[in-house]
Structures are given as structure tokens and as C-alpha cells.
Amino acid sequence: MAGRIPQSFIDELLARVDIVDVINARVPLKKTGRNYVACCPFHDEKTPSFSVSPHKQFYYCFGCGASGSAIGFLMAYEHLSFPEAVETLAAQYGLTVPREGGGGDEDPSRRRQLEALLELNRQAARFYVQRLRAPGGRAARDYLQRRGVDAAVAKRYGLGYAPDAWDNLSRQFDPRLLVEAGLAIERERGGIYDRFRHRLMFPIRNRRGQVIGFGGRALREGEGAKYLNSPETPVFHKGREVYGLYELLQANARPEWILLVEGYMDVVALAQHGIDAAVATLGTAVTAEHLRLLFRHSTSLVCCFDGDAAGRKAAWRALEAALPLLEEGRRLAFLWLPEGEDPDSLVRREGADAFRRRLAGAQPLSEYFFARLTEDLELSRLEDRAELSRRAGPLLKRLPPGAFRRMMQARLVELAGESRVESPVSARRRRAELPQPTLDERAAALLVHYPSLWPQLPQDFRQAAAGGHHGEWLAVLAAAFERGEEGLTALLEGAYRERFQAWREDEAYRQLPSPEGELQAAATALQQRFRRRRIEQLSRKTQLTHEEKAELRRLLRKAGQSHEYTPRR
């Protein structure tokens, strides 16, 4: 993992960014006096209560309390991590994000390579779309028509056609880049040829809408694999990405649930029938990375599998991958398909309403867990109850501490008469020691343990934290608190999972005599440090705007009241 982003760069970035431009590009704003308003993107409302201040470079919703800087807005609106939001903004302003302690992200040649591959993929996707519309794309258009996919859905997913030739792309683009992007294959005797030929093309986009790879469906039976995917490349990793997530979030930034299916056409067909919450794995089994990614966008996932032995085996692997991720409020269920059916064929045969009824009846993980473990046991026998305890014990150890784990443990006790779940104390004893926390880390750890203290902190501290001025950890927490309970359940995931988990399990924070006082002291010290840094930053400027002069006076007044700043002489 690359080093942390220097605070000085975050301050510089926020000084350059105009929050009005950032938000208006995603949520249309209307100017009213000195500020801009809109209906809040974070909760349902008819009268605008979402206000953006160009003077303060801050947004605030009077309806739900969401607030923050441009970075915080991107984190909440596009479900980005703190580094991803910083990099997104930096790219818009032509800045390279530095990292403390080195890291691959600082290598200019590496960055240029990734940018070149993404640009090539973008141009290839555009070429395939053009070929689909051309006379030579009739076979692909006929296939879509037979599957009931109209032009609007094809456009939404960027569907295209790879013509039946060996050199569609190699005649137009750099051969070396084509091979590196997985769009072409090297011949043993020299030269290259196109990987995708006479196939319906599905561009695979990341959460930013960048094309990172492709899937191709054969249009002639018996001619190679039915579905062909891009290989692993520097920008495409099958185990981390899913097909259709970008399109899903464009339709609904906060889906109540997400359906995980196996095929590209399943996603497209469901969207054609108005079911916009489906994504697909990319020819791989469901991994923890897939689930972690999807849980960032919804607390409820449904995995769709065949009801045969192979489908149930795949479902069990998905269940095992999900266990450590089932924090409070998260749900996983399983939708079993009739024999010989897939979501594409089923929704076309039964219709959208019938398919939604099937979704409503999906089997919860808790039911499937014990049904699967007891399918060959007779629980009237002591030996079989002991076997159930032996099977379930190691799996239940993988669940995070909390109500769901306790309830699963209680169910095991009910069925088998005993529990083999490791106690939280034992888990904490096994946890490796952490380095001595910095001031911002201590404040973040206290908030992980005592989230109810967040609203009690001074508003200027909360605004500065949301803006990234108190470091990455507090910015992540501020964004989570803005989202309420949903945001808090997403803390223990992704790049932050290990640190937040360790903080939450640290007994020392639970034994503090006055956590409120500790947190207030940390917040005061952090805010003083921020004011000193901002005063120094403004004092170094040769010319200040009227607003900056007013800000400097205000900062000096606050600093003088607390005796925290001595002007340079």
C-alpha cells in the first residue's frame, strides 16, 4: 500500500478546488444570494435544503445534517475512500498526488503507463460501439433483438461489436499497448492479432466510469469460448471488480440491495426489465474483495446461483468469504434458480414482477448456514450434534463481534447444545500491538468507541475534519457520520478495515475514566494545530483577498484568546 497523503498537499488541493464546480457537475445547483442550493442528494426531499457556500468552500444540508468539503462530498456521493476522492480531485486539476514514505503511485512512468492503457481502452470501446451501429454489426444487433435488449439499454452499458477480422485494432493502435491492455495477442512468429473477433462486446468500467477491460460473447456457436474476458492487466483485476457497478450507481447512488449474478447478459437483461441493481462477477468465484466492494454501496446483498450441486458449492464459497464482513446491519441472502434457468432467461420468461417476488423470498445466510451444515446430520443423535458443533465453531469464529455473531452462537447452542465460538477476549489477546497512536489517530479511535460524542464536538472542528484538515482517519469518520448508521456500518472495510477493527477491539479505550474529556482535549489540540497551520499559510501570501483577510483576523482572534499563536517579528 502506498504511503499516506501529506496534509500539506490536501490543504493545497482544497485551496485550488472550487466546491461549487465539483458539486454542480454531479448535482445541479441554483444560486440564491451568496450561496447555491439544491435538493439534497443524501436524502429524499421536495424543498431544497442542501446549501453550498463558495466563500467557506463547504456544503451543509439543513434537512439531514450532511456537511463537508469537496473531498467529503466525493466520498459520500461517489462512495470513494479518502485517497480515491483526493486522487479524483487532483486529476481534475492536473496534480499528482504525493505519498509519504514512497510508493508506486509516485512513479511518473507508472502513472503514464496506466493513463495510456485507460485511454486505449476508451478508444477501443468507442470503436466497438461504432462497429455495432455500422452495417457489419448486424449479427450483434440481431442477437440483442432476439434477447429483447433495446437501443437505450445497449447505449447505457456501452455495448459494441468486435468485427470478424484479425486486425481491427492492430491497424489503428500501438501494438505494444494493445498486448499490454489484453486487446491483442502476440504471434509466436512475430506480429499480433486481435483477441476479440466477431463478438458482442461488454466494456467493464470501474467506479469512475473508466473502461478497464472487456468481455466478449461469441456470435457463432462452437467458435471458441462462449464468453471471453480480458486477461489481468495493470488496470484490470478480475477478483476486485464487478460488471455493471458503475451503471448501477448512475441509476441509483444508494441502492437498498444489490443482486450479484454470473453473466454480463444477466445484468443487461435485468436492466431491460427495470431491475437496475444487478452486477456480475467476471468469470471468477465470488471473493471477499467483491463483497467488500459491494457492501460499500449497500448493506443488503443477494447472491444468485444455480440450484444444482455446482451452484450450491459456489454459494458456500461466497458465504465463507462473507463471514468476516458481516458487520452490524449487513445482510447476505441467496437466490436459487430453477434447473436450466439463468436470470436472463427467467426474467424474460416470468417477467419483472415474478422475479422481484423471487428476490423477496431469497434465503437468508443464517438459514442457509445451518441448513448446509446439517443436511447430512441427524440432530437427535449426540454424535451428530457434536459434529455440527465441530463444523460450525471455526466458521462462527470468523464473524465480527456483535449481535449477529451472538445470535448465530445462540442458534448453534439451540441445535447442538454447545458453542465453540472464540471469545472476544481471546481475539484481543491474539491481536498484534499497534504503534503509539498520533493525536488524530487517538481522536479517531475514541470516536470509533464513542460515536455518540461526534455531535458534541465543536462545529468548526467537525467541519475541518470533514474537509480533511485533521488527517485521513478523521475525514473518513466524518464522512461516515454524515451518512448515519449506514456510514458507520461501512467503517470496517477496504483500506481502513484492519485499523478500525484494531481500534474497536482495544480494551484500553473502553476503560478510560472520561472519554468525553479525552476527546475534547484531542479535538482542541487538533483545531489549534490547524489554525496555526492556516495562519502560517495566509501570512506567507503577499496579497490577500477581502475574504482571506477576514479569515486571518478571525483566526488570529481565536488563537490569541487561547494563547496558541505568537506572531513572527
Q: What is the chain's mean pLDDT, rounded?
A: 84
C-alpha cell at 251: 441509476
- Helix and strand numbers (H, E) in the chain are 26, 16
Query: How much of the chain, in percent, has pLDDT values that exceed 90?
Result: 39
**pLDDT value of residue 370:** 95
Closest listed residue to residue 264, CA positions, set 314, 289, 310, 230: 230
Closest listed residue to residue 494, CA positions, set 177, 84, 130, 172: 84
**pLDDT value of residue 498:** 67
Helix spans in 134-287 (H): 138-146, 151-156, 175-180, 245-251, 264-272
pTM (2 d.p.): 0.63
DSSP 113-146: HHHHHHHHHHHHHHHHHHHHHSGGGHHHHHHHHH
Q: Which of 209-218, 237-246, 512-521 has the lowest mean pLDDT?
A: 512-521
Confidence bin at 492 (pLDDT 50/70/90) = low
C-alpha 158/C-alpha 125 separation (Å) is 8
C-alpha cell at 207: 467506479
C-alpha cell at 400: 465480527
**pLDDT value of residue 564:** 47
**pLDDT value of residue 372:** 94
Question: For residue 33, is it left (φ>0), alpha (ψ between -120 and 50) or beta?
Answer: left
**pLDDT value of residue 298:** 87
The answer to whether 412 and 392 are in contact (CB under 8 A) is yes
**pLDDT value of residue 75:** 87
Determine the straight-line distance between the first and last CA of the chain, rounded to whole angstroms. 43
Confidence bin at 297 (pLDDT 50/70/90) = confident
Residue the block writes with cell 493502435: 173
Residue 4 confidence (pLDDT) above 70: yes
Task: Give me the torsion for CA of 352, 156, 345, 280, rounded to 10°.
Answer: -100
C-alpha 29/C-alpha 32 separation (Å) is 9
Residue 365 confidence (pLDDT) above 90: yes
**pLDDT value of residue 490:** 58
Q: Which of 399-413, 420-434, 460-474 has the lowest mean pLDDT?
A: 420-434
Q: Average of pLDDT values for 281-310?
A: 87
**pLDDT value of residue 15:** 75
**pLDDT tens digits, 113-151:** 888 999 999 999 999 999 999 999 999 999 999 999 999
Residue 257 confidence (pLDDT) above 90: yes
C-alpha 163/C-alpha 153 separation (Å) is 21
Confidence bin at 418 (pLDDT 50/70/90) = low
Closest listed residue to residue 421, CA positions, set 398, 437, 443, 439: 398
**pLDDT value of residue 219:** 92
Residue 494 confidence (pLDDT) above 90: no
Strands 199-205 and 211-218: antiparallel
C-alpha 160/C-alpha 124 separation (Å) is 10
Q: Which of 201-215, 366-380, 519-533 has the lowest mean pLDDT?
A: 519-533
Q: Which residue has the higher pLDDT, 361 or 190?
A: 361
Half-sphere exposure of 80 (CA within 13 A, CB side): 21
Closest listed residue to residue 446, CA positions, set 497, 496, 528, 521: 521
C-alpha 255/C-alpha 249 separation (Å) is 8
C-alpha cell at 114: 496506466
C-alpha 542/C-alpha 74 separation (Å) is 32
**pLDDT tens digits, 76-87:** 888 888 888 898
Burial label, 408 (beta-carbon count in 10 A; 0-12, 13-18, 19+): buried
In Å, how far are 161, 217, 261, 431, 528 from 139, measured between CA atoms? Answer: 9, 12, 26, 58, 67
Residue 568 confidence (pLDDT) above 50: no
Q: Average of pLDDT values for 183-206?
A: 92
C-alpha cell at 106: 509516485
**pLDDT tens digits, 516-532:** 888 888 888 888 888 88
Q: Average of pLDDT values for 193-217?
A: 92
The answer to whether 261 and 278 are in contact (CB under 8 A) is yes
Rg of the chain (C-alpha set): 27
Residue the block writes with cell 492503457: 117
Q: Average of pLDDT values for 44-54?
A: 87
- Coil, helix or strand for 401? coil
**pLDDT value of residue 422:** 47
C-alpha cell at 409: 452462537
Q: How many residues does the chain have?
A: 569
C-alpha 560/C-alpha 240 separation (Å) is 51
The CA angle 243-120-236, to the nearest 5 degrees, is 35
Residue 220 confidence (pLDDT) above 90: no
Q: Which residue has the higher pLDDT, 54 or 59?
A: 59
Query: How much of the chain, in percent, has pLDDT values that exceed 70?
Result: 90
The answer to whether 168 and 194 are in contact (CB under 8 A) is yes
Q: Average of pLDDT values for 387-397?
A: 93
C-alpha 229/C-alpha 247 separation (Å) is 19
